[in-house]
Structure 1
Amino acid sequence: MYNNITSSTKEGITTITINRPSKLNALNRETIQELHQAFKSADEDKNTKVIIITGTGEKAFVAGADISEFADFSVEEGGSLAAKGQELLFDFVANLSTPVIAAVNGFALGGGLELAMAAHFRVASENAKMGLPEVSLGVIPGYGGTQRLPQLVGKGRAMEMIMTAGMVDAKQALQYGLVNHVVSLEELIVFTEKLASKIMRNSSVAIAGAIKAVNAAYDESVDGFKVEIAQFGNCFGTEDFKEGTTAFLEKRPPNFPGK
């Protein structure tokens, strides 16, 4: 079905793996399109409660964009490349109603770090290295990197990372708040699946509402507090709310229908 990625679902977790090891899993246009389709399918699949995005092998999550595809682009083509990529993949993932965890194995550079930052949070292997090296090529991050990196690590650190085109290791990334956890490469997927299992115990409907409300805080065109109030109110009309509150009062674990 896919040329550049794999997607498999097991026990409520869909794992999407970028599978271009000879190119260190670099993102070309075809891979971005396939990732869009895989995320869309997983989000629409009622059996999928959490999505994990990772890369094949031990070296790289995604080592960046495929530079050979756009080295001769014009101004208009460059702008279109960024706009289409953000719409198809990076903004799409950030606003997905299904939780997305990035399991960062090895290098996450340029578009790779931008993809990891679009996920709802990140777990890194000890050998992970992250950075936005675009200015060393005479261009800037174009898939949301200049916006999401400051949100996660603060303006000063983001400016330094972008201007120096340097990399941070997993320990620094943890200290910066760029990743939530650092584990050994061997533990990475198992640890991420355990986090996914904790998420799956809760109401998928409520989680979708929480994602919308949290994302609204970073959208200057909307009032995040109003979005929170609306999403909070919506919860009261769900079967999950009825089940959650009933289970609490009956002192038993909830069995959420996801409606």
Structure 2
Amino acid sequence: MTRDGPVMTLTFNRPEAHNALTWNMYDRLYEACEEADRDDSVRVLVLRGAGGKAFVAGTDIGQFQAFERAEDGIAYERDGDRRMARLEAVRKPVIAQVQGFAVGGGFRITACCDLRIATPEARFGAPIARTVGNCLSMAAYARFVDMFGPSRVKELLFTARLLTAEEAHATGYVQEIVPADRIEARVAALARQIADHAPITLWVTKESIRRLSAGRMLPEDEDLIAATYTSADFREGVRAFLDKRKPEWTGR
């Protein structure tokens, strides 16, 4: 965590693993949101990844080896919902500085930020149907459908492809595409510009937009999560990912 006047920056700092998130890193993200809201001198929060190759390459898959019961998958998704809800509820504008991959959990984190500035090499998506064979929570599906529409979300998840920076910009998901050698300066300038504006107006605008979707009733999803995380395909996906081989799906 670093500070530059009114701008607080949290760096996901695990470049050797493309900033794949451990449970402790998820906890640190939650704590950073708490810190930003406690300190009135913080006006903007910036999230970025170390190393220039990835923003966040999802959850560290090795941690899934400990999953044995439906409750493990349900707890994981509920914890993710809680952390992402906290990020969305930060009272200050949050900017994602995206260089490289923002996939899986990284894709969801960027979706919970207010603005996204990316390099041309940035890629966005959740290729879980090709990699691990898990699922998203209903809250995550709802967020992506809000942003991209149901057809695009189905296409991305069914094909397991990643959105390019240009595609994400065309949808309005990414606000600006900036070369890697200029993105840090551009994000800093944007953060300073926003930090100079009326904090209450910024918060009320952000919170009002958040409440438009936060107040709706989401359908039950624990049966779907349980079916996924107790499946043989999920266990095979985790093993195959760690073994660096193509998984053999059976539909069981």
Coarse TM-score class (shorter-chain normalised): 0.7 to 0.9
Q: Which one of the candidate residues 114, 121, 126 is aligned to 1:120?
A: 114
SS of residue in 2 equivalent to 1:58? coil
Give 1:92's aligned residue.
86
Give 1:244's aligned residue.
none
Aligned residues: 215
Give 2:170's aligned residue.
175
1:105 counterpart = 2:94: no
Q: Which amino acid aligns with 1:34?
A: R
Q: Which amino acid aligns with 2:10?
A: I
**Bigger RCO (CA 8 Å, 6+ sep):** 2
Give 1:230's aligned residue.
none
SS of residue in 1 equivalent to 2:97? strand
Q: Distance in 2 between matches of 1:84 and 1:110?
A: 15
1:83 Cα offset (Å): 0.5
SS of residue in 2 equivalent to 1:62? strand
Q: Which one of the candidate residues 135, 138, 147 is aligned to 1:140?
A: 135
- Deviation track 1:67-111 (CA, whole Å, cap 9, x = no partner) reads 110134121110001111221x21101111111010111100100
SS of residue in 2 equivalent to 1:53? strand
Q: Distance in 2 between matches of 1:123 and 1:144?
A: 24
Give 1:158's aligned residue.
153
1:185 counterpart = 2:180: yes
Map 1:28-43 to 2 at 5 A.
28-43=22-37
Do the aligned residues in 2 keep the contact of 1:49 with 1:98 (CA within 8 Å)? yes
Q: Which amino acid aligns with 1:109?
A: V
Higher Cα radius of gyration = 1
1:220 Cα offset (Å): 4.2
Q: Distance in 2 between matches of 1:107 and 1:90?
A: 19
TM-score, normalized by length of structure 2? 0.81
Do the aligned residues in 1 keep the contact of 2:48 with 2:55 (CA within 8 Å)? yes
Q: Which amino acid aligns with 1:26?
A: A
1:39 Cα offset (Å): 2.1
Do the aligned residues in 1 keep the contact of 2:36 with 2:90 (CA within 8 Å)? no
4+ runs of 1 displaced by more than 4 Å?
none
Q: Distance in 1 between matches of 2:194 and 2:152?
A: 30
* Worse overlay, 51-60 or 126-135: 126-135
Q: Distance in 2 between matches of 1:171 and 1:76?
A: 39
Q: Distance in 2 between matches of 1:192 and 1:144?
A: 28
1:60 counterpart = 2:54: yes
Q: Which amino acid aligns with 1:121?
A: L
Map 1:196-215 to 2 at 5 A.
196-215=191-210
1:201 Cα offset (Å): 2.1
1:141 Cα offset (Å): 2.4
* Worse overlay, 69-78 or 114-123: 69-78
Identity level (%): 28
Do the aligned residues in 2 keep the contact of 1:125 with 1:188 (CA within 8 Å)? yes
Do the aligned residues in 2 keep the contact of 1:135 with 1:162 (CA within 8 Å)? yes
Give 2:190's aligned residue.
195
Give 2:212's aligned residue.
217
Q: Which amino acid aligns with 1:197?
A: R
